[in-house]
Amino acid sequence: MTIRPIVRFPDRRLAMPARPVTTFDDSLRELAADLLDTMRAAPGIGITAPHIGVPLRVVVLELDAKAGPQTYVNPAIEWASPEMIMHREGSVSMPGVNDGVQRHARVRISYHDLDGNMQTEESEALRAVCHQHEIDQLDGMFWIQRLSRLKRERLVKKFEKMSRGASS
């Protein structure tokens, strides 16, 4: 288990759709463990393999310490409620900035577990937001693309300014 470097916005790899996982083996379990360690160190509550430069459809979420982490391989949204909610979102690839994003209040996803077994899960509130946010990332859609152009430009400028300050 290793903390891996996180790909930072605007790296082009964040805009590329991730490939489906086809082999469920120890290297996949190692990737999931590295994602968990990297997410906790960031810190964050969700991370995808593309966030560490690995173009595979793998997501790790940890929303509740008691419930523990959950790994989703090849997740896909099967159903989304018509009701929408607004939630503040950010990314381990763009630390220090966040904004409200409109998402479906409830979703049903299908995914594989680390052993390759097909699963489904229904979620609401924060977990539903996270499922949508991370699946967007796997599809090559960075979360700020869900914002108006004005909000997006403001956040990018803020992040650039913060990044310059951190490197000086």
Both tokens assigned to 121: 């899960």
List all residues 6 or more positions away from 167 whose beta carbon is below 8 Å from its beta carbon. none
Determine the Cα–Cα distance for residues 155 and 151; give it in Å rounded to an integer.
Answer: 6
> Which residue out of 30, 121, 122, 134 is catalytically annotated?
134
Q: Give the N- to C-terminal CA distance of the chain in Å, as an integer.
A: 31
Cα radius of gyration (the chain) = 16
Q: Which run of H or E residues covers position 150?
A: helix 149-167
Q: Based on the residue annotation, tell me whether 134 is a catalytic residue of this protein.
A: yes
| DSSP one-letter code for 21 | P
Q: What residues act catalytically?
A: 134
